[in-house]
Amino acid sequence: MEYSTLFLISFVAATILPVSSEATLYYYLREGLDPLLLLLFAGTGNTMGSVLNYLLGRKGTDYLIQKGKISPASLHRSEKFFGRWGGYSLLLSWLPIVGDPLTLVAGVLHYRLSSFILIVSIAKFGRYALIVLFF
């Protein structure tokens, strides 16, 4: 149950909702759960949440702006940054505030999905691996 909870929280944390998957991971580490399984579930959930952002960017950007879920200014800044750094900018997808719009912009710009998943996985799993290693 704890692993699926971490997966779900990590998934939601990759969206625009303010949820802390790191705190949940840390809590479960303190509870003595298997660190490698925690890493697997947190990294997979967070990466899949970013894939959802990508798909929303690819198909629903206008809707998200219209509903106020993302500001045009934030989208513009992210597009500018992504335009300059390309796929390498996705290595920052783990960052709060900046990361979620970057994954959305990758979808808007139709960045190749296989490359997106690879780069975002490196960023997401890397962040969680550091938490596990330094616990």
Both structure tokens of 32? 């003595």
Higher pLDDT, residue 80 or 106: 106
Examine the pLDDT at 62 and tell me if it is beyond 90.
Answer: no
Convert 54-88 to b/e letters by CB count within 10 Å (16 or more is b): bebbbebbeebeeeeebeeebbeebbebbeeeeee
Q: Is the pLDDT of residue 65 over 90?
A: no
Cα 93–Cα 15–Cα 105 angle in degrees, nearest 5: 55
Mean of the pLDDT values across residues 30-53? 97
pLDDT at 78 over 80: no
Q: What is the pLDDT of residues 4-37, one digit of tens each?
A: 999 999 999 998 788 899 999 999 999 999 999 9
Mean pLDDT (whole number) for 90-98: 90
Q: Is the dihedral of CA 83, 85, 86, 87 positive or negative?
A: negative
* Domain edges within the chain: 2-133
Element (H, E) at 118: helix 113-133
The pLDDT of 91-106, averaged and rounded, is 89
